Amino acid sequence: MSNRSRLHELIDSLPEAALAVAQGALENFQTWPPKPPAQLAAIEKANMDRMRRSMQPGTLGTGGGGGGHFMGPGGRIEYGHHSHSHWEDDAVVVTTHRYHAGHELVIEERMRLVDGGGGLTYSHCVTGPDATNDNRQITFDVSG
């Protein structure tokens, strides 16, 4: 059974490295139910706007998304991810925001058929917290 004494015992036994995440979780519980962080709402709104712009008249939208996160002190996302997909012309685009120790990576993946459907091109761009990015692309033969 949960009680304050047991919670104090658990907190006292935590390793130092876990204190920031535990503090964030407890601060997040001060308002119940917890509110999502502001930056997550902005990401979701931008993704929804992209999905709506990518929908073709007479088609169904396929802008799936999901994820989870752990809060740190001050409402900062410490760990977790959030992703969303949308269409840009003939490419499906999946944008994922990943968080580790409060640092965010943004991964944008694209997949599309090329060569009359005989090839599948996959590319991604990873952007780090300092705005450095890495781009890769590969095409797979899917004709067979």
Give the per-residue pLDDT at 60.
45
Averaged pLDDT for residues 59-85:
69
Q: Point out the least confidently predicted range of 76-80, 92-96, 107-111, 117-121.
A: 76-80
Nearest to 132 by CA among 105, 108, 93, 103: 105
Q: Encode 78-109: b = buried (16+ Cβ within 10 Å), e = exposed.
A: bbebbbbbbbeeeeebbbbbbbeeeeeebbeb
The residue with greater pLDDT, 61 or 139, is 139
pLDDT at res. 61: 47
pTM over 0.85: no
